[in-house]
Structure 1
Amino acid sequence: MTFPSASTALSRFTVLDLTRVRSGPTAVRQLADWGANVIKIEAPTDVADGEQMGGPRHGADFQNLHRNKRAMTLDLKDPKGHAVFMRLAAKADVVVENFRPDVKTKLGIDYDALRKINPRIVYASISGFGQDGPYHKRPGFDQIAQGMGGLMSITGAPGEGPMRVGIPVADLTAGLFCAMGVLTALLEREQSGQGQWVQTSLLQAQIFMLDFQAARWLMHQEVPKQAGNNHPTSIPTGVFKTSDGYINIAAAGHAIWERLARTIGAMDLLEDERYATGAKRSANRDVLNAAIEQRTVGRSSAEWVDLLNQAGVPCGPIYSVDQMFDDAQVRHLGLAQDVPNTDGRSIRVVGQPVTLSRTPSRMAARPPEVSEHTHEVLAEFGFSPEEIADLRDHKIV
């Protein structure tokens, strides 16, 4: 295989990628960026329609999701195509899919079918609501999961109704948890020699991501409410207006609260009984925030960020996306990474947020064109030139 590897960390694993749209591709991207031999399998017809919800193939979304992969086409609905896939699966390490739960069984490529020919296969499935249960046949979408998973009830300003988060957080976290499950199963396979079925869903991922907000109900029967830009339990933490914009301040704990009051020249607030304890600051949060903002509007955001950080008060600017990528620390961390393209230019995508000292990840290969590597992949899996030509003639690939 001459395809450039993104890393040596997972280079010994071959992954068959049956995913589409976002949650599945997010999972597979984690494997591809760490060097796994990822083969994206698409239908030979209507490929553009198959990715319609993820935007056009050469658009920013698709390009960011599908770097470091190869691509082939295969008609899984045709018996010959099914036979081809089974030959691939017999040698692969991982299969990842995010079809509706019944689709893979109808196609004859479910976990039970594959483990008969490859007991070591790690089979990963992402669905909207789970592989079984009363809702398992429902189509899953991120915003539906945000609503059912409780997130929209705690997002937004009080009294303004539910609010979705500005990213597809259920899709993304389901993909990340799926990748984590795959890696865990591969580690376990080193002991048992057996693969297993990894399952997650948008709903499960979203509920898990509620974290302490979910625990408040499970442990104390507290129903979290919307708090807008205020932190629900740590006060004063929130957004404060400055002379030229807004900043975030996070004054958690009494010591930091005292530092904040001194830095903004509000010693009188420290002597006010309404703010003497964390519980009292929470009960009087609105009037306290207003009192703080009376001081912060007197200086610019940059001035306050500098002064407060010097005083040991956590704070930061509130960036638009372009401003964020222009920040000195973000540039230093190298999150915006170039991928080589066919015409000598490069495209820029979001790099991995994790670094490894010996086997780092890199943007080694641009996202593949439709069927770009079909012949190459089939040949690697032992298909003869005559077999490949026959598959092409019959539009199986």
Structure 2
Amino acid sequence: MTKTGALAGVVVADFSRILAGPLAAAALGDLGATVVKVERPESGDDTRQWGPPYASDGTATYYLSANRNKRSVTLDLADPAGLAKAVRLATRADVLIENFRPGVADRLGLGYERLRQANPRLVYASVTGFGSRGEGARLGGYDFLVQAVGGLMSITGWPDGEPTKVGVAVVDVLASLNLQVGILAALQARERSGRGQHVEVSLLNAVLAALVNQASGYLNAGKVPGRLGNEHPSIVPYQTLRAADRPLAVAVGNDAQFSKLCHTIGAPELARDPRYAANASREANRADLVVALEKALAAKPATEWTAVLQAAGLPAGVVNDLAEAFAYAENLGCEPVVELPRGVRQPASPIRLSASPVSYELPPPRLGEHSDWFDAWLEEK
């Protein structure tokens, strides 16, 4: 309990598993909170078995991705002794994170209404798939499913291909980020009121809110968008374009940038062409413009164009794989990787705080590793 950081002194009881909840708890741990991860005996968090790939010690790398800065204890919540310890943890915690199916926590005796009686300052944070009320409460929430039913897949992929999921569990990540904001807001509100509250984020609401301009186009103009591949629905050229060897990502956001792009790649006539001079015209004539731009870009490899365009102040870059992406961030001085004990390497937190920086004190724990510490902590007061 001697941690430093913006959330030093805050105790988080993490009853969640898989990704959205554990990722939120890990982020709070980065910020200095003491996080107690409660797991099932024998099996623990589901992601402990989600491999390959595995780290050199045999641990599933999926589990490693969302569980740093935590202490693991095993409790059988169906056993009265285990449940009693869980309740004692909740009464001493500042934050509790759970993603049980709606109604399960209440049946176990770990629901919000019961726990707030014992601990009025508790911030109780729930992740659900489709909400805790109405028909959605009976449905199981899985990232891939929510990408589908939440509309994200309908706008991802090529126009002549099938709807496509994002290559990472992005809905879980979005829900986790929203949960973190809700928890921090509730902790701040507690400073004024002295009381905690229930924070809930559903995967479905998280993805719908994340559709931003696409959702706004539907809600305010009745436009149901489709799949555009790597093209932007409103801005041109804001997409990948083929260079001599590989795709080049070009993010031209206004008419002035477009004119500079045309002059930089040796095609100034395109900037003067009335079909392309204004963004609305470029959007209407996208197909012809792409052909003309790719004809000019065929003169050089993508990496050479990247250097030329960036030197001109234009946003452009190659499409990196993960190895290239981490190397790129390293070369830019972003310090993208953190080294944890036991040889665990992870993406660093993107948060930079000048006075109370994030810290990385604990590697993802082994199952039940801190049970003795936990028992002693429960007896302290």
TM-score range (shorter-chain normalised) is over 0.9
Q: Confirm or deny: 8 A CA contact 2:70 2:365 kept in the other structure.
A: yes
Given residue 19 of structure 1, which amino acid in structure 2 is its aligned partner? S
Shift of 1:17: 0.6
With structure 1 as the length reference, what TM-score do the two structures score?
A: 0.91
Distance change (3 Å), C-alpha of 1:273 and 1:8: closer
Distance change (3 Å), C-alpha of 1:225 and 1:67: same
Q: How many residues align?
A: 377
Shift of 1:70: 0.5
Q: Confirm or deny: 8 A CA contact 1:96 1:123 kept in the other structure.
A: yes
* Structure 1 residue aligned with 2:26: 29
1:350 aligns with 2:347: yes
Could you tell me which runs of 5 or more consecutive residues in structure 1 were left unpaired when the two chains were aligned. 385-397
Distance change (3 Å), C-alpha of 1:331 and 1:254: closer
Distance change (3 Å), C-alpha of 1:364 and 1:50: closer
* Structure 2 residue aligned with 1:390: none
Paired with 1:309 and 1:238, the residues of 2 have a C-alpha distance of 16
Could you tell me which runs of 5 or more consecutive residues in structure 2 were left unpaired when the two chains were aligned. none
Q: Confirm or deny: 8 A CA contact 1:102 1:137 kept in the other structure.
A: no
* Structure 1 residue aligned with 2:375: 378
Shift of 1:54: 7.6
* Structure 2 residue aligned with 1:124: 125
Given residue 27 of structure 2, which amino acid in structure 1 is its aligned partner? Q
RMSD after superposition: 1.8
* Structure 1 residue aligned with 2:39: 42
Paired with 1:20 and 1:142, the residues of 2 have a C-alpha distance of 13
* Structure 2 residue aligned with 1:305: 306
* Structure 2 residue aligned with 1:296: 297
Shift of 1:330: 5.5
Q: Confirm or deny: 8 A CA contact 1:274 1:280 kept in the other structure.
A: yes
* Structure 2 residue aligned with 1:203: 204
1:257 is paired with a residue whose SS is helix
* Structure 1 residue aligned with 2:13: 16
Deviations 1:83-129 (A, max 9, x none): 22112211111110011112111111010010011011000000111
Shift of 1:310: 2.1
Q: Confirm or deny: 8 A CA contact 1:247 1:316 kept in the other structure.
A: yes
Shift of 1:132: 1.0
Is the deviation greater in 306-315 or in 224-233?
A: 306-315
Q: Confirm or deny: 8 A CA contact 1:149 1:203 kept in the other structure.
A: yes
With structure 2 as the length reference, what TM-score do the two structures score?
A: 0.94
Paired with 2:45 and 2:133, the residues of 1 have a C-alpha distance of 30
Given residue 189 of structure 1, which amino acid in structure 2 is its aligned partner? R
Distance change (3 Å), C-alpha of 1:283 and 1:24: same
Q: Confirm or deny: 8 A CA contact 1:95 1:123 kept in the other structure.
A: yes
Distance change (3 Å), C-alpha of 1:261 and 1:158: same
Paired with 1:48 and 1:24, the residues of 2 have a C-alpha distance of 11
Paired with 2:172 and 2:233, the residues of 1 have a C-alpha distance of 25
* Structure 1 residue aligned with 2:248: 247
* Structure 2 residue aligned with 1:224: 225
Deviations 1:280-315 (A, max 9, x none): 110110110111001111112222112112222211
Deviations 1:166-195 (A, max 9, x none): 111110110111111111100000000011
* Structure 1 residue aligned with 2:276: 275
What are the residue-to-residue correspondences of 1:19-168 with 2, within 5 Å?
19-47=16-44, 51-53=48-50, 58-168=59-169
Percent identity over the alignment is 39
What are the residue-to-residue correspondences of 1:312-391 with 2, within 5 Å?
312-327=313-328, 329=330, 332-341=333-342, 346-382=343-379
Shift of 1:44: 1.8
